[in-house]
Structures are given as C-alpha cells and as structure tokens.
Amino acid sequence: MPAIVKVQLSLEALAEAISSLDLKEKRQLQELIEQQIFEAEEALYEDDAQTQVEIEAVRAEYRNGEFITLDLLK
C-alpha cells in the first residue's frame, strides 16, 4: 500500500508544479481530479434531502407505470 503524504501548498505553487508536468502527466492528473470530483458529487447527492425526494418520486412513478419506453419515443 502506498504511503499517503499530505502537503499544504498555495494554489499558485500547485499551478506552478502542474505547469512543469509533461502532457501525459497532466492527463493522469486530470483523470485523478475528475474521479475525485465525481466521487465527491456522488456523496453530496446521496446526502441531499431534495435529491432523495426526487429519486423517490421517480421510483413511485415507475412503480405506477408512469413511464414510456425508448421504443415509443421512436
């Protein structure tokens, strides 16, 4: 298991460090950041009361047959 190191950097110092990366490394960093953003947004949605209400409303509509299939949209 890799060691975890936490470092405090200014945003400016981080931007400078990113500037020194080559394109391949920047793409790897982009993928990592996008994955972490996705996970953070998912966690927010799961904890958001309004989202839970909306999800339950859609599930109720589905249970009641209030939906159309993709075939009907053609």
- What confidence score (pLDDT) does residue 3 get? 77
Per the CB < 8 A criterion, the answer to whether 29 and 19 are in contact is no
**How many other β-carbons are positioned within 10 Å of the β-carbon of residue 55?**
13
Question: Within a domain: residue 15?
Answer: yes
User: pLDDT for 11-33, tens place per residue?
Assistant: 999 999 999 999 999 999 999 99
Domain count, the chain: 1
- CA 66 – CA 59 distance, rounded (Å): 10
2 has a pLDDT exceeding 80: no
pTM comes to 0.56
Domain residues for 35? 11-73
Burial 15-48 (b: 16+ CB within 10 A, else e): eeeeeeeeeeeeeeeeeeeeeeeeeeeeeeeeee
When the pLDDT of each residue in the chain is averaged and rounded to a whole number, the result is 91
